[in-house]
Amino acid sequence: MNEAHARHVLAAYERHYNEYRPHQARNQLPPDAHELPAAAHGLSSTGKVLRTRILGGLINEYRYAA
């Protein structure tokens, strides 16, 4: 596309990589996390999962609905 598009894509990936993507060397924490997320108790096998599409679905993030 163009330079602005490339910068947008790289910024979105960098945000995902540093804030959400688990890293094995950090006990499955992303680089910007300083503590483990709160445990979700009482979730049944029918608990609703929400998907957030990043970069048009190239990357997907999943979370349990509250």
Q: Domain range holding 32?
A: 3-64
Residue 59 tokens read as 């990357």
Domains held by the chain: number: 1
Reading the chain (66 residues) residue by residue, the pLDDT tens digits are: 899 999 999 999 998 888 888 888 888 888 888 776 666 566 555 678 999 998 989 989 888 886
- In DSSP notation, 30-49 reads -TT--SPPPP--S--TT--E
Q: Please give the pLDDT value at position 41.
A: 63
Residue 34 tokens read as 């300083």
Q: pLDDT tens, 25-40? A: 888 888 888 776 666 5
Question: What global pTM score does this model have?
Answer: 0.62
Cα separation values, 38 from 30, 41, 54, 65, Å: 14, 9, 23, 14
Q: How far apart are CA 19 and CA 32, in angstroms?
A: 5
